Amino acid sequence: MEISCLVISHKKAKIEDIEKAWHGNCCDIIGRVLSNPNVDECALLFTCNRVEVYVVGRDTVNFLYEFAKEMGVPKRILDIYTGKDCLNHILRVASGLESMIVGEDQILGQVKYFYNVCKSCGGIGEILDLVFRKAIHVGTKVRRLTRINKGSVSIASAGIELLEREVGLKGKKVLLIGAGEMGSVVARHLSGRVELYIANRTFERGLNLAKEVGAKAVRFDEIENYIDLCDIIITATSATHPIITKEMAKPNKVFLDIALPRNVDESVCEIEGVKLYTIEDLRKLSEENLRKRLREVEKAEKIIDEELKQLEESLKTLRAKRAIRAMYRRAEAVKREEIIEAFNKLKAKYDIDESAIQILESFANSLIKKFLSYPTLKLKELAKNNNFDLFPHIEYIFGGDGFVSDSKNEEVKAREIKKTCERG
């Protein structure tokens, strides 16, 4: 087994780079990845701050660099992690340590969401299933045992904090466009603090959110009128194109665009007195939050280190189980054939009835279990000691998949490929 991930995040990439790196829907991308004969499993993660591709198979590092070329992603903005580094990365992501706003809660929900979507698309097998379930467990545990998610820790809450700091909220009229997950968080943060109007393409959804937070719902085709009325306009929709253009903007308005792709055309800044804040402006808040949470980050990292060791052990056990299953599957297939043949011979000679099949089957099961107990024990010992060289051969011999070796030579090869690609 070899597991690797391609990461394009806010650490190296701008918002435009992240937007351009996502092509098509989740199932289509997974289908393209799995069409490569070297890839057996695939999972994706797409948020406003990251695009990540996880793969399990053979020669995965080289595949991910080639896939990045297909996506048009320059090497300068991507990272590729393999093996333990990849596992550590997804645990940190789910725990909020890799987020722009350190400790933010939304990323854990997004990891859960994409785990379920990728599973339904057929991308997640038993290895990524184990890895992502562990990541979700660790993300939950970190938030339960530390204070890393206390205070302004989401893009939405950081955006409100930014508005409070830069323009103030007292006495302001605010138009919120979008009643989805992000918009709902914004609405709850603003509830009771401003005169709030909520617009959504599906009016009923906007109306429900407005009732919840004590706001007024407005129809989507009326937003231009409310842009004129309100002091601050916040966009948080899933639209793939700008919904606010220069022609719709008015002088002396404040726009906060926390959507990806962006909802507000940059040309609105050409209007007199207009201020436009985007996710890029939240990077400064991220740095401040990081300083405040250093102690909590240290606690979180200790939890991750412990859980990473457990995950590695679980993957070793899983690897051993794959080879053991291959042996038992082959033995089971032979057993069925031999039982039928033995029964037919005994019936012809001794005129026995079908009750003898149970005796033959019990004998065969006992023989297989005793015969394979020693190689089963040895395979588990090999896995525990990181000796995986024989595993692909064993799986191949017994009709399994024959995964690539996890030997040190493969890790060295992966590092050499990475260095070569980075130099290129």
Q: Where in the sequence numbering do the catalytic residues fall? A: 48
Per-residue burial over 43-79, b if 16 or more Cβ lie within 10 Å, else e, is bbbbbbbbbbbbbbbbbbbbbbbebbeebebeeebbb
Q: Cα–Cα distances in Å, from 94 out to 22, 91, 307, 391? A: 20, 5, 13, 31
- Calculate Rg over the CA atoms of the chain: 28
The answer to whether the beta carbons of residues 421 and 409 sit under 8 Å apart is: no
Nearest partner of 92 among 409, 347, 308, judged by Cα = 308
Q: DSSP assignment of 206-258, as one string?
A: HHHHHHHHT-EEEEGGGHHHHHHH-SEEEE----SS-SB-TTT--TT-EEEE-
The answer to whether the beta carbons of residues 260 and 15 sit under 8 Å apart is: yes
The answer to whether the beta carbons of residues 254 and 233 sit under 8 Å apart is: yes
The answer to whether the beta carbons of residues 167 and 234 sit under 8 Å apart is: no
Distance CA(33)–CA(43), nearest Å, equals: 10
